[in-house]
Amino acid sequence: MAKKKIIVGMRSLPEIRESNSIYIDKTQFIDYLENSAGTKVPVFLRPRRFGKSLTASMLHNYYDICKKNKFDKNFKGTWIYDHRTPLASSYYVIHFDFSDVSSDSKDVNYTFLTSVGSSIISFTNFYPDKGLTEEQLDYSLYNTATDLMQVFLDNFSKKAKEGEYLYIIIDEYDHFANEILTRDKEAFKDITSTAEGHEGLIKRFYALLKKYYRGEGNGAIDRFFITGVSSVSLDSVTSGFNIATNISLKPDCHEMIGFTHDELSDVIDETLDFTKLPDITKEQIMQIMEENFDGYAFEKKAKEKMFNSNLCLAYLESVISERELTYPSRISLNDDAGKLRGMLNLCEDDVREDIVRAMFNKSPIVTELPDKMNLNSTNYFDKAQMVSLLYHLGYLTIDTETSQKKGLTSFIIPNRVYENLFLDYCRQTIGYRADAYKDLSPMFEEAADITPLLEIITEQIETKLNPQSLGKFTEMALQLICDSIINNSRKRQLSAY
């Protein structure tokens, strides 16, 4: 049987289904969201590259009236096809994706306006009788995205018949806000400001959506689905959008995106032809995946940890195309040590040092996740808030074993990919630039000669540390240098697999 294709980063359910690409059926969660989530305004948070956008596309194609004629093509063979819910193909869906909004503070207002406008144009193309005219879509008429959205919602409300409602999907709601947060805390406070007369662009936009929510009165919006990474942006606008419920920690949502171990095993079976990979085994690939892309738990009692699905697919595609085991570090997270530094600068020095030392020593960090993370009410995050932010961004995950033993939520680094990113941050902090591919082969031979290691450590301290770091050289810094040298040695490439 022909193997299925892998299209890395594919966000469109119809394109995946039409191209015979690999798809893990998660459609049972449609029924959960509609009937059991306990809210019509769910916010679902997961780290980057976990597959949130594909979930948004799944919901769009399931509920949108204009997609009804393609329902069989999109869903035949899935769980939901045989368990169709009453609300299938019954909404006018407008789908926003804020990943294209600029994080440059001088451009954010205009690109937010054009992003909202692009979604309204797409909606109008499908529903010209309920969308906006070309004249109304002239961006020069509007100062903000909220002004344009107000016209759209007013127009839809006037033209909609009884029983016709909007389903609003907002994907990557906080993408641009998080980018701003890592670089300029004051700019973030400006866009989320709730001060009367000086409301930020995020506060104004979501306050408008709340106004038109049917649950608040006779509004045109019946349901939402919102994806993002962290709750800090919505928390910071406080009552501006207090209709939303964060469902991310609910046990029933734990496997909604990402791969379980069995799902990843199925993906490998359906996409890899091992007759073309004679020197590679499924067990080797699973080991690499478990060490680098696994380890995520999103509730204390999770029975199974989750794989980052997009990173797994990217790695498998690289194995298929290169016909050899490739380095997991080549798979891009779209994150770097600079972003981590920006996040850690949001807390006081003593809090940051406490968290960094625990992460470096691989010690569980014990703290409960806070209910809210409103940056407009404080200048710095406390420990629980900082750990929560790192958890939502994927740098930490729930340590289920320790959490269940102690009865308190504990956090650890999930896998080697994020451990390496964290160590990059540590190296930058002490001004150390690690050299790659030092030859330490004598250490791994029978004589176990560590002389080359000692010589390299001495040379690295003398030549690779900046002078400022030498004055505060610590045991942690020495351990970091040793770790970097050993892990970058020629002998440690992929021999472990």
Tell me how far apart the alpha carbons of residues 22 and 139 are, in angstroms, rounded to a whole number.
39
The torsion of the CA quartet 237, 112, 61, 138, rounded to 10 degrees, works out to 130
- Average of per-residue pLDDT across 222-240: 88
Question: What is residue 237's predicted lDDT score, i.e. its pLDDT?
Answer: 78
Question: What is residue 73's predicted lDDT score, i.e. its pLDDT?
Answer: 96
At 39-87, the pLDDT tens digits run 999 999 999 889 999 999 999 999 999 999 999 999 999 999 999 999 9
Q: Which of 110-119, 167-176, 207-216 shows the lowest per-residue confidence on average (mean pLDDT)?
A: 207-216
**Band of pLDDT at residue 238, cut at 50, 70 and 90:** low
CA 157 remoteness from chain centre: 34
At 253-290, the pLDDT tens digits run 999 999 999 999 999 999 999 999 988 999 999 999 99
Question: What is residue 445's predicted lDDT score, i.e. its pLDDT?
Answer: 66
Tokens found for residue 124: 């109008």
Tell me how far apart the alpha carbons of residues 147 and 145 are, in angstroms, rounded to a whole number.
5
More confident residue, 494 or 488: 488
Tokens found for residue 448: 């176990």
Q: Is the pLDDT of residue 495 over 60?
A: no
How open is the CA angle 234-205-11, to the nearest 5 degrees?
A: 70
- Residue with tokens 């994020």, as numbered in its chain: 418
At 364-375, the pLDDT tens digits run 999 999 888 888
Q: Which of 65-69, 191-195, 217-221, 485-489 shows the lowest per-residue confidence on average (mean pLDDT)?
A: 485-489
At 170-202, the pLDDT tens digits run 999 999 999 999 888 889 989 988 887 778 899
Share of the chain above pLDDT 70, in %: 89
- Are residues 90 and 164 in contact, defined by beta-carbon separation less than 8 angstroms? no
**Distant-in-sequence, close-in-space partners of 268: CB < 8 Å, separation ≥ 6:** 282, 285, 286, 316
The torsion of the CA quartet 204, 205, 207, 213, rounded to 10 degrees, works out to 160
Question: What is residue 491's predicted lDDT score, i.e. its pLDDT?
Answer: 45
Tell me how far apart the alpha carbons of residues 489 and 497 are, in angstroms, rounded to a whole number.
15
Tell me how far apart the alpha carbons of residues 360 and 438 are, in angstroms, rounded to a whole number.
23
Q: Which amino acid is at 337?
A: A
- Average of per-residue pLDDT across 459-482: 66
Q: Which of 163-167, 329-333, 344-348 shows the lowest per-residue confidence on average (mean pLDDT)?
A: 329-333
At 84-116, the pLDDT tens digits run 999 999 999 999 999 999 999 899 999 999 999
Q: Which residues of 316-334 are buried (b: 16+ CB within 10 A; e: fewer)?
A: bbbbbeeeebbebeebebe
Question: What is residue 7's predicted lDDT score, i.e. its pLDDT?
Answer: 85
At 125-155, the pLDDT tens digits run 999 999 999 999 999 999 999 999 999 999 9
At 408-466, the pLDDT tens digits run 899 999 999 998 889 888 877 766 666 555 666 666 666 667 777 777 777 777 776 66
Question: What is residue 492's predicted lDDT score, i.e. its pLDDT?
Answer: 45
- Average of per-residue pLDDT across 242-253: 94
Rg (CA), the chain: 25
- Are residues 365 and 328 in contact, defined by beta-carbon separation less than 8 angstroms? no
Beginning with the edge strand found earlier in the chain, give each strand of the sheet holding 410-412 in spatial order: 365-366, 410-412, 397-398
Tokens found for residue 401: 């074993």
Tell me how far apart the alpha carbons of residues 447 and 409 are, in angstroms, rounded to a whole number.
45
